Homo-oligomer: A and B are copies of this chain.
């Protein structure tokens, strides 16, 4: 594939997620440009380092790094790896960095993130959801630690591709891009279905890692927290079902087995909490609770967890 034929990729928010996928795509020969804020100086000087338990250590130096989206070349794909808490503030940068008909992929957890960003983007941009199954965190400015996994599921949300065939072509291109970088990737028919399924994991593990100050191994090893995790997962399944998204049978069991294989994994929300960053409570808790409530479904344990986290988040940043 000649350089000119390759899509140009922009990374909006070069934290753990954006950094990981950006470095992996750059390493595979894609033309990747990184938008950074507070870490720009460090990355411009020292480059980006990915310490991966699977792919070894990757170092990019120099990095095509930018402090302002206005300075970036127009990109065909924009991968948004920032926290959902900053989405509305990022819309102008996304618009500035987007080529005509660009594909904007929200590599984020939670519900309704596309719905909330869509009104802020021009109709000419494609909006996709991307769900990352990955254990990764930012160890320092420009340094990303990758513990396990890395798969990306893509789904089309909205934009110029109005028929299924055109959407499928876009999804196939996106999937091929991640696969060319050595990563598992699949296209999913429904972004909402995909987001609810991911929430089955995020809702218990993200929240409890903050509330109980514990990693996945500790949370699963204790009989009480293990039972709480399962009860939360089943409430999320009920919420999803009320909203019309039936999660495949055996999904909870598979999630638990997969999580047991993640050694001592500390979910991203625990990292956010320890670094006094805002927690993604709106996307991961408030939106699913509201969607389930609109469908007549209460999720009392999820709501209790959300309220406890909202208290901690407020104290943590006050």
In contact, A308 and B222 (Cβ under 8 angstroms): no
The CA of A230 and the CA of B168, in the complex, are separated in Å by 48
Interface string of A295-318 (1 = CB under 8 A from B): 000001101111110111011000
Interface string of A272-310 (1 = CB under 8 A from B): 000000000000000000000000000011011111101
CB distance from A302 to the nearest CB of B (A): 9
In contact, B304 and A231 (Cβ under 8 angstroms): yes
In contact, A304 and B307 (Cβ under 8 angstroms): no
Contacts of A300 in B (CB 8 A): 231, 300-301, 304
The CA of A301 and the CA of B231, in the complex, are separated in Å by 11
Is A224 on the interface with B (CB-CB < 8 A)? yes
CB distance from A246 to the nearest CB of B (A): 22
The residue in chain B whose Cβ has the minimal distance to the Cβ of A306 is B224
The CA of A233 and the CA of B228, in the complex, are separated in Å by 20
> Which of A177-185, A212-220, A253-261 lies at the interface with chain B?
A212-220
Is A227 on the interface with B (CB-CB < 8 A)? yes
Contacts of A304 in B (CB 8 A): 228, 231-232, 300-301, 304-305
The CA of A314 and the CA of B221, in the complex, are separated in Å by 11
In contact, B225 and A307 (Cβ under 8 angstroms): yes
Is A208 on the interface with B (CB-CB < 8 A)? yes
* A: interface residue count bin: 20 to 34
The residue in chain B whose Cβ has the minimal distance to the Cβ of A299 is B300
In contact, B231 and A312 (Cβ under 8 angstroms): no
User: Could you tell me the dominant secondary structure of chain A's interface residues?
Assistant: helix
In contact, B231 and A308 (Cβ under 8 angstroms): no
Is A211 on the interface with B (CB-CB < 8 A)? yes
In contact, A208 and B315 (Cβ under 8 angstroms): no
Contacts of A222 in B (CB 8 A): 310-311, 314-315
In contact, A225 and B303 (Cβ under 8 angstroms): no
In contact, A315 and B211 (Cβ under 8 angstroms): no
The residue in chain B whose Cβ has the minimal distance to the Cβ of A310 is B224
A228 CB contact (under 8 Å) in B231, B232, B307: B307
Residues A121-153 near B (CB distance < 8 A): none
In contact, B212 and A312 (Cβ under 8 angstroms): yes
Q: Interface centre among A224, A232, A306, A310, by most B CB within 10 Å?
A: A224
Contacts of A227 in B (CB 8 A): 307
Residues A87-128 near B (CB distance < 8 A): none
In contact, A212 and B301 (Cβ under 8 angstroms): no
Chain A residues engaging chain B, CB cutoff 8 angstroms = 208, 211-212, 214, 218-219, 222, 224-225, 227-228, 231-232, 300-301, 303-308, 310-312, 314-315
7 pairs of residues in contact across A and B, judged by CB atoms under 8 Å: A222-B310, A224-B314, A225-B308, A231-B300, A231-B304, A300-B300, A301-B304
Give me the 5 closest cross-chain CB pairs, A-B, nearest first. Answer: A224-B310, A228-B307, A225-B311, A224-B307, A300-B300
